[in-house]
Amino acid sequence: MKRHRGASALTLLCAMAILTAPGLVSTAYAAPGALAAPLAPSAPLAPLTPAAPGTPAAPEPGAKSLEQVHKEIEDLYRQAGTATDAYNLAVGEAKTQSDKIVEIAKQVVAGQERISTLKNRAGAAARAQYRSGGLPPGAQLALSPSPSVFLAGADLLRQGEKATADNLAELNRTQSDLQQYAADASAHWQTLEANRVKQETAKKEIEQKIKTAEELESKLQAEEKARLIQLEQEAQYKAQTAWLSSGALKELQGTASEAGRKAVQFATAQIGKRYEWGHEGPDTFDCSGLTSQAWLAAGRPIPRTSQEQLRLLPKVAVKDMRPGDLIIYFDDASHVAMYIGDGAMVHAPRPGRTITIAGAGSMPIKAVVRPDA
């Protein structure tokens, strides 16, 4: 219990340090020697520092080792992360198509009103011609009291004929537009339906991967679960130490922009909230939900998914990274975090974990992107 209270207090201190220190975070991640300091916890069961490996009980013949179970669970969550990105992208595309259909519906209504107005004008012109007897210009000249009156009337007649012709041309164009709107609406409906199918497929895949991973974890004893979290932290420690030892931070001197500082403040304020796939706050987030909402809070809307963030946002070199930049992880760009300075990042790790701080090099970095480049 004392250890747990100490860990909670440390987490609070870390979060406060992020928002108050000039570099946005403490230097706990800045050098390999400093990594002996506790990492911000993602679950209360695990010790915050990589403990010396214990001597686990010998597994039964044919049984999986805890390390194998750990790898299997991590792989499942990675696959769920990739599927989550596909789901989020399909949801975004569906919203876009739905918005377009609504816009088309408004255009159809406006077009129908325009046609009604044009028809009324055409009817008025026909009624005026009927009242004039529908006489040809030659007859009107013979019956007119004077040539000047006739010429004035003829000019008005020509204007009326041109207005009628223009009216009919616009009527035809508007009717053609309505036909095009109908075709566009049909195409957007088809895309919307395809996106719905994509959503359902991705959703089922995510739920199955998470369910399988949770079932594997549920079979573990309490000591094994604690050791599993320890294995996660040991792997992160090893990766972060190797990243720092490579000299990755030697040239890092970037200072957060004003928008970047706001994004970091938003992201770190969410520390402790649960990961939940497909969510973008305010109570739960997935990885790209956190980063996209953080930058929205900073006044810079960015793409919803990590893959779209990688594709559409300007890339910067790791050596030029500054707080607020987004770090895209793994070859499939299935995870994203926000760099907060001094070798650390904040992220929503995976189902069963909470938003936390970790080493920026604790996972394989694919690229760094800058929303406010």
The single residue of 70, 188, 279, 347 carrying the catalytic annotation is: 347
The burial class, CB within 10 Å (0-12 / 13-18 / 19+), for 77 is: buried
Whether 241 and 344 share a structural domain: yes
Active site residue 287: yes
Distance CA 66, CA 354 (A): 22
Q: Mutual orientation of helices 287-297 and 66-131 as an angle, nearest 10°?
A: 50
Phi, psi for residue 119 in degrees, rounded to 5 = -65, -40
Active site residue 14: no
Distance CA 192, CA 90 (A): 9
Polymer length of the chain: 373
Owning domain of residue 168: 83-208
Domain boundary (208, 232, 250) is at: 208
DSSP for 146-211 reads SHHHHHHHHHHHHHHHHHHHHHHHHHHHHHHHHHHHHHHHHHHHHHHHHHHHHHHHHHHHHHHHHH
**Predicted pLDDT at 159:** 59
- Cα 304 to chain centroid distance, Å, stands at 0
pLDDT in tens, 224-249: 888 888 888 898 999 999 999 988 88
Whether 31 and 106 share a structural domain: no
Please indicate, yes or no, if residue 53 is contained in any of the structural domains: no
Contact 249, 320 (CB under 8 A): no
The helices-and-strands tally (H runs, E runs) of the chain is 8, 6
**Predicted pLDDT at 120:** 75
Whether 261 and 228 share a structural domain: yes
**Predicted pLDDT at 303:** 94
pLDDT in tens, 13-37: 343 333 333 334 444 465 443 333 3
**Predicted pLDDT at 135:** 52
Beta-carbon contacts of residue 338 (< 8 Å; ≥ 6 apart): 263, 264, 267, 290, 291, 294, 324, 325, 326, 327, 345, 346, 347
Distance CA 261, CA 264 (A): 5
What is the count of structural domains for the chain?
Answer: 2
Task: Provide block-wise average pLDDT over 10 residues at a time, the chain (373 residues).
Answer: 38 37 44 36 33 44 68 77 78 79 79 74 63 54 55 55 66 75 77 77 81 80 82 90 88 87 97 94 96 97 94 94 96 94 94 94 96 92
Active site residue 335: yes
The single residue of 14, 188, 279, 287 carrying the catalytic annotation is: 287
Whether 203 and 246 share a structural domain: no
Whether 227 and 202 share a structural domain: no
Domain boundary (183, 208, 233) is at: 208
Distance CA 234, CA 20 (A): 29
The single residue of 70, 188, 279, 335 carrying the catalytic annotation is: 335
**Predicted pLDDT at 307:** 92
**Predicted pLDDT at 40:** 36
